[in-house]
Amino acid sequence: MNNLLDRMVRAARCDAALYEEVEADAHATGQAMTVVMLSSLAAGVGTLATGGVLGLLGTTVFALIAWYVWALLTYWIGTRLLPEPQTKADVGELLRTTGFSSAPGVLRIAGLLPGLTKLTFLVAGIWMLLTMVVAVRQALDYTGTARALGVCAIGWGIQAGLLVLLFSIFSLAG
């Protein structure tokens, strides 16, 4: 547990060496998934006061799905659409690095505090975007941050559109 907590803190600090470490460590996949689960659960708990138990469950599941879709889109965009000559990565490497980039999302649990839900989610979301950019830059062996930022932005936009479409379909069906 100490190793996981240390890695989460390093991930939140945008420690490039941490992202290289988990990219290369196939045994870190379980830890990365734990980080995603903790972050997603924190999002759910953070909305408990305003959304109740259904909000907790819905937000937790939504956060998990959003992360997974974004990670897969990022992999595809980064390795197929916008690779650099030295870019070489597999899905596992992206899932591990982007999993750890979810570490700041644990702060969303502070959304339980009255009046802080929106601010907490905004700060955590921006922080998670920053860590995601570092994770993608390292996992895809990019020489600069701008390309990683572009890959993340494109992936996030597509993911957001897909999720809005998906939830619109489900709300119309219900």
Residue 77 is given by DSSP the state: I
The rounded distance, in Å, linking the Cα atoms of 45 and 97 is 24
One-letter amino acid at 124 equals: A
Expressed as residue numbers, the domain containing 42 is 2-173
Return the axis-axis angle of helices 91-100 and 29-46, rounded to nearest 10°.
Answer: 40
Q: Total domain count for the chain? A: 1
Neighbouring residues of 99: CB distance < 8 A, sequence distance ≥ 6: 22, 29, 31, 32, 33, 35, 36, 67, 71
| pLDDT tens column, 29-53 | 999 999 999 999 999 899 888 888 8
Token couple for 54 = 């259904």
pLDDT score at 174: 58
Q: What is the pLDDT of residue 53?
A: 87
pLDDT of residue 63: 84
Which pTM was predicted?
Answer: 0.90
pLDDT value at position 48?
A: 85
Specify the pLDDT at position 1. 65
Q: What is the rounded end-to-end Cα distance, in angstroms, of the chain?
A: 42
Give the model's pLDDT for residue 163. 80
The set of residues, in sequence order, having a beta carbon less than 8 Å from that of 11 and lying 6+ positions away, is: 18, 19, 22, 35, 100, 101, 103, 131, 135
Q: DSSP states of 109-171 as a string?
A: GGGGSTT-HHHHHHHHHHHHHHHHHHHHHHHTT-SSHHHHHHHHHHHHHHHHHHHHHHHHHHH
> Tens place of pLDDT for every residue, the chain, 174 residues?
689 999 999 999 999 999 999 999 999 999 999 999 999 999 989 988 888 888 888 888 888 888 888 899 999 999 999 999 999 999 999 999 999 999 999 999 999 998 999 999 999 999 999 999 999 999 999 999 999 999 999 998 998 898 888 778 877 765
Distance CA(20)–CA(136), nearest Å, equals 10
In order of 28, 96, 117, 140, the CA distances from 135 in angstroms are 14, 9, 26, 8
Cα dist. 124→76, 91, 94, 118 in Å?
25, 25, 20, 10
Res 13: pLDDT: 98
